[in-house]
Structure 1
Amino acid sequence: MKRGRLPLTALRSFEVAGRLRSFTLAAEELFISQAAVSRQVRELESLLQHQLFERHHRSVSLTPAGEQLLAVLTRAFDEIGGSLDELRGDSRPSTIVVSSEPSFASAWLVRHLADFRKERPDIDVVLDADPRLVEFRSNQATIAIRHSTDRKTWARVENQHLVDVRIIPVLAPVLLEQAGDLDQPVDLLRLPLLHEESRDLWQRWFSQSGTDAPVQRGTVYTDGGLVLQAALQGEGVGLLDELFAENDLKTGRLCQPFALSIPHGAYWLVARRFSELPEGAIAFIRWLKARLDTR
């Protein structure tokens, strides 16, 4: 095909959708609608007379033709981007400032940042663990990660849903051994309970389990990361975000005595304008969403 006739817009949309295996995430990275991504991909398939994606109920996968084209396009776009950076004098590592809820930063993000550094060694991350909502003034932060139990919008900023939160009970194996049989949720009241900010969350969990006994005792921590550390030390039973506990549950450092979980809001990405973010921030958001999506 002659260079003058190359469908560059459609090729870009296909490359992002193929790399992320998602039309939705591609739309977010390109700051266009999912319908636009789908239309451009279909136009490219019509032009090539080859199906590039297998479309499933809630996901997509690449066909052999799609895999072949993606390998070429990703390499080509990376080389173009690298050449442009060199011409602009951007060979030094770029820096992004990520403002994060302290519990998300300490209990999850710190554990996984090494994966991002391996993927993008050219991007330095400054992680600011701060519960306050930043105003994005004077380069205060590039993007922010915030938790809310009910809010979905904030004034003067844009936001994107990141991940829902569900809370589960966890305790260290040594405490479980000391406790003996835990046959029903009410048995947890025999053990020290660890609380985040207040005792309301445990009260909600017990109410969902059918236990109406009041929760009046137990250490209260200001941060979920502190609850996690206390639970790992065997100090008591903590109510933790599944996201925070998943690694320690897999390795056996924590146990989940009962399967009951309760919803507790969601984490959100916040920025002044997503369409104006630097490439490093866009790459970080893409990595973060993909990492959470493949848990």
Structure 2
Amino acid sequence: MKRGRLPLTALRSFEAAGRLGSFTLAAEELLVSQAAVSRQVKELEAELGKPLFERRHRSVRLTTAGQALIEVLSRAFNAMDASLSEIRGRRGGGVLEISAEPSFAACWLVPNLDDFHSDHPEIDVVVDSDMRLIEFRTHEPEIAIRHSTDATAWPRAQAEHLADVEMVPVVMPCLAEDGPPLNTPADLLAYTLLHEENRSSWQRWFAAAGLPEAPPGRAQIFTEGNLVLQAALRGHGVALVDRSFAAEDIAAGRLVQPFDVSIRYGAYWLVARDFKRLSPEARAFREWLLRRIVVPDGG
């Protein structure tokens, strides 16, 4: 096919849908309707004479032909985006945009950001606190901080290990002093337990403490780790949180860690399209972060 006849709009719609695994998400990214994406993909399939997706009730899956095409297209679009970004320059003017998961942004990055500003007052940092996985394309953050319980790599990106996550129990001193005595881990069952997402982490912690059959007890469940920490700071119960998130509050006496038992819960990673092609601002932040992020001893 001659270059002048390449169906670029349809190819862009297909690449977004295949990369995101959804016509709806592709439409949101491209700022068009879901029907427009679907129509463009159907027209591309008709022109090629082969299906590119297996269409299911609530999802789409690439066919063999679709997988082969998207690998080529994603590399091409990424290369074009990188070239345009270099020519245009990113935000410029000493501005760095970072994507960070909400819990990390609220509990670690914001409390420590003044230290980075002290070292680099010429760089303005924009924190994009979002759970979404970014593609590092134009108008998106240049680097991201991600947590995963098992993943060590992300598609079309490079990743560097930052820190393992250790979960420890914490509680307000006054709650521990006024409530039932905390002599053994089993005594925590007399308190309201604060959970992130579900009860599985607390169940793992009790198993590590020698109580594999611990009953569930009273509970409050939150969607984010930073909400769990805030609930603990307001005396709602005993939280199981990332040790590094609670370190400042423990040091200040706002929280206490009643038992030294901890459990591992994945790790945090620094992710970028290509670490060798980072802007000077992003390189400075990367160097500071790798030097600054230290998990407190213990556990």
TM range (shorter): 0.5 to 0.7
Deviation of 1:179 after TM superposition, in Å, equals: 1.7
State the AA in 2 paired with 1:170: V
2:246 corresponds in structure 1 to 245
Return the offset for 1:213: 1.6
CA displacement at 1:96 relative to structure 2: 1.0
2:180 is aligned with 1:189: no
Name the CA distance, whole Å, in 1 between partners of 2:294 and 2:197.
28
Q: Which residue of 2 aligns with 1:111?
A: 111
TM-score, normalization: structure 2?
0.66
**Could you give the per-residue CA deviations for residues 145-167 of structure 1, whole angstroms, max 9, x where no partner exists?**
00001110111111000111000
Amino acid at match of 2:220: T
Change (3 A) 1:113 1:183: same
Question: What does residue range 1-295 of structure 1 map to in structure 2 within 5 Å?
Answer: 93-211=93-211, 212-215=213-216, 217-293=218-294
SS in structure 1 of the partner of residue 134 of structure 2: coil
CA distance in 2 between counterparts of 1:279 and 1:177 reads 50
Aligned to 1:133, the other structure's residue is in SS state coil
Deviations 1:212-243 (A, max 9, x none): 12325311111111111100011000001011
1:255 Cα deviation after fit: 0.4
Distance 2:180 2:186 in 1: 14
Unaligned runs of 5+ in 1: 1-91
Alpha-carbon distance in structure 2 between the residues aligned to 1:219 and 1:149: 22
Equivalent AA in structure 2 for residue 169 of structure 1? P
Q: Give the number of equivalent residue pairs.
A: 205
Q: Distance in 1 between matches of 2:224 and 2:249?
A: 18
Instruction: Give the drift of 1:294.
Output: 8.3
Determine if contact 2:169/2:240 at 8 Å carries over to the other structure.
yes
- Deviations 1:162-188 (Å, cap 9, x if unpaired)? 111000000001110122421110100
CA shift for structure 1 position 115: 1.0
Name the CA distance, whole Å, in 2 between partners of 1:260 and 1:216.
19
Q: Is the 8 A contact 2:165 2:267 kept in 1?
A: yes
Stretches of structure 2 lacking an aligned partner (at least 5 in a row):
1-91
**Aligned partners of 1:216 and 1:129: how far apart in 2?**
32
Q: Distance between the aligned counterparts of 2:251 and 2:157, measured in 1?
A: 37
Q: Which secondary structure state, in structure 1, belongs to the residue aligned with residue 255 of structure 2?
A: coil
1:98 counterpart letter in structure 2:
I
SS at match of 1:260: coil
Check the 8 A contact 2:192/2:217 in 1, yes or no: no
| Alpha-carbon distance in 2 for matches of 1:216, 1:197 | 16
Percent of residue pairs bearing the same amino acid type: 51
- Going from structure 1 to structure 2, the CA distance change for 1:221 and 1:167 (only over 3 Å counts) comes to same
SS of structure 2 residue aligned to 1:194: strand
CA distance in 2, matches of 1:176, 1:241: 20
Write the distance in 2 (CA, Å) between the matches of 1:173 and 1:105. Answer: 26
The alpha carbon displacement at 1:257 in A equals 0.5
Q: From the superposition, tell whether residues 230 and 294 of structure 1 become closer, same or farther in structure 2 (CA, over 3 Å).
A: closer
Preserved CA contact (<8 Å) 2:170 2:239 = yes
The aligned counterpart of 1:74 is none
> How far, CA to CA, are the matches of 1:134 and 1:177 in structure 2?
45
Aligned counterparts of 1:98 and 1:281: Cα–Cα separation in 2: 9
Whole-angstrom distance in 2 between the partners of 1:280 and 1:156: 22
Letter in 2 for 1:100: A
Distance 1:294 1:144 in 2: 19
Q: Is the 8 A contact 1:199 1:216 kept in 2?
A: no
State the alpha-carbon separation in 2 of the partners of residues 116 and 131 from structure 1. Answer: 23
Match of 2:63 in 1: none
TM-superposition CA deviations, 1:57-87 (whole Å, max 9, x none): xxxxxxxxxxxxxxxxxxxxxxxxxxxxxxx
The root-mean-square deviation of aligned C-alpha atoms, in Å, is: 1.5
**AA matched with 1:284:** F
**1:19-43 deviations in whole A, cap 9, x for unaligned?**
xxxxxxxxxxxxxxxxxxxxxxxxx
